[in-house]
Amino acid sequence: MVTTTAHITGFGIATPEDVAQDALWEGFFARHFAEAPAAGRVFRSARVRRRHAVVNPLVEDVSSWSTGARMRRYAREAPSLGRRAVAAALADAGLRPEEVGMVVVASCTGYTTPGLDIRVTADLGMSPDVQRLLIGHMGCYAAIPGIGAVADFVVARRKAAVLLCLELTSLHLQPATGSLDQAVAHSLFSDAAAAVVVRPDPVGERGGLAIVDLAALTDPAGADHMSWHVTDLGFRMGLSPRVPDVLSRHVAPMITGLLARHGLTAADVDAWAVHPGGPRILEVVGEGLGLPDAALAESRRVLAEHGNCSSATVLLVLRALRRGGRPGAGRRGGVMAFGPGLTLYAALVRAT
């Protein structure tokens, strides 16, 4: 019996214009968080140098916009970013749009129907019978269950699939407040679209990343530590400083269990693509798995140069690692992301 394996064979990203973190603080957020004296320290400690925004608060303050107005802006901005990211991923994989059998879209920052999935598939000229799936409101970890969904389709149908993660967090700037958790959120989050092409083997001379296994863990006791609520003035994030403490209890056991299923340990993993939810999150992962600082260098670089782009971020890290030749041929890679629930998701991949 021939066994099919799903492989990631193409990456594509698209971002709006970037803006320097210092310029954002000095030109807008210092005034916006005037009632939160510690907000300046929060922005400085975020380890973000620049971020991307379809709505730059230095130019356009949307903090008083209704949710309806923000969703109309999402419907205007998202399709072009999504189309660019998917087109780049298809080109990277050497695949034509009409060869795609399924498109999965993950986004927690905007909703409209006809949705982003329909707009992108139509704009790129994909087949009318392409299957579509929308993953909503999962937050920062959505890319990994998204990879699982497209991998299952690829294995079952032996047809190529695309995952698009697109987040426009800049649309959800909240009104001025003295709340420090809002300062934390607004110091980190950014806009981006990232796409991957997943194909059945054989994958040809290009090689790829075989999707070996996935794991998930949700700790309901931490359900109130991270939230994303729809309000009349956009979506409001809630972030507790206890998030890293919860992750520190679960990262090592979950990753150890995932690797043990394949007779591996952390020492067998050649590259780590870890969602940089913030500097402390990366410290917790590194400490829990006993990783050297260099193991998470790409995650830190992505945080500095792109900010936290929610579900798209871990794909930015994985793409950067692959461009650097890691994991090496035949070696394994670990992929991790975290979000509401409190939820941890991980994937084990192997470079072919």
Per-residue pLDDT of 264-322, as tens digits, reads 999 999 999 999 999 999 999 999 999 999 999 999 999 999 999 999 999 999 999 99
165 in active site:
no
Q: Is 268 inside a domain boundary?
A: yes
Q: How confident is the model at residue 2 (pLDDT cuts 50, 70, 90)?
A: low
Q: How confident is the model at residue 226 (pLDDT cuts 50, 70, 90)?
A: confident
**What pLDDT was estimated at residue 262?**
98
- Residues 250, 184, single domain; the answer is no
- Rounded CA separation 169/237 (Å): 10
Token digits of residue 203? 């994958």
Which CATH number belongs to the domain containing residue 315 in this structure? 3.40.47.10
Domain boundary at 138, 169, 200, which? Answer: 200
Token digits of residue 124? 């790129």
- DSSP H or E run through 22: helix 21-24
- Residues 23, 159, single domain; the answer is yes
Residue 254 confidence (pLDDT) above 50: yes
**What pLDDT was estimated at residue 295?**
97
Token digits of residue 43? 């922005």
**What pLDDT was estimated at residue 204?**
58
- Rounded CA separation 215/7 (Å): 17
- Rounded CA separation 338/245 (Å): 13
- Residues 158, 213, single domain; the answer is no
Helix (H, G, I), strand (E, B) or coil at 305: helix
Helix (H, G, I), strand (E, B) or coil at 140: helix
Residue 203: partners with Cβ closer than 8 Å, 6 or more residues away = 7, 9, 352
Domain count for the chain, please give it: 2
Q: Degrees (nearest 5) of the Cα angle 147, 55, 165? A: 5
DSSP 189: B
User: 318 with 347: CB under 8 angstroms?
Assistant: no
**What pLDDT was estimated at residue 28?**
98
Residue 204: partners with Cβ closer than 8 Å, 6 or more residues away = 94
- Rounded CA separation 340/153 (Å): 26
Q: Is 233 inside a domain boundary?
A: yes
- Residues 132, 80, single domain; the answer is yes
Using CA atoms, how far residue 260 sits from 213, 232, 275, 287, 351, in Å, is: 11, 47, 22, 19, 19
**What pLDDT was estimated at residue 202?**
61
Burial 288-326 (b: 16+ CB within 10 A, else e): bbebeeebbebbbebbbbbbbbbbbbbbbbbbbbbeeeb
- Residues 241, 193, single domain; the answer is no
- Rounded CA separation 213/262 (Å): 9
- Residues 192, 223, single domain; the answer is no
- Residues 184, 233, single domain; the answer is no
- Residues 233, 260, single domain; the answer is yes
Q: How confident is the model at residue 222 (pLDDT cuts 50, 70, 90)?
A: confident
- Residues 217, 190, single domain; the answer is no
Domain boundary at 200, 227, 243, which? Answer: 200
- Rounded CA separation 281/50 (Å): 19
Token digits of residue 54? 């379809």
Which of the residues 108, 140, 165, 309 is marked catalytic?
140
- Residues 21, 143, single domain; the answer is yes
Report the chain's mean pLDDT, rounded to a whole number: 95
Residue 1 confidence (pLDDT) above 50: no
Q: What is the pTM of this model?
A: 0.96
Q: Is 49 inside a domain boundary?
A: yes
- Residues 221, 334, single domain; the answer is yes
Range of the domain at 294: 209-351
Per-residue pLDDT of 142-153, as tens digits, reads 999 999 999 999
- Residues 34, 161, single domain; the answer is yes
Using CA atoms, how far residue 89 sits from 21, 62, 188, 246, 336, in Å, is: 29, 32, 26, 35, 21
Q: Is 186 inside a domain boundary?
A: yes
Q: Degrees (nearest 5) of the Cα angle 216, 327, 289? A: 50
- Rounded CA separation 101/107 (Å): 20
DSSP 70: H
User: 234 with 170: CB under 8 angstroms?
Assistant: no
Helix (H, G, I), strand (E, B) or coil at 155: helix
DSSP 3: P
- Rounded CA separation 130/62 (Å): 36
**What pLDDT was estimated at residue 234?**
97
Domain boundary at 200, 235, 263, which? Answer: 200
Q: Is 1 inside a domain boundary?
A: no
Q: How confident is the model at residue 249 (pLDDT cuts 50, 70, 90)?
A: very high
What amino acid occupies position 81?
L
Token digits of residue 51? 């971020």
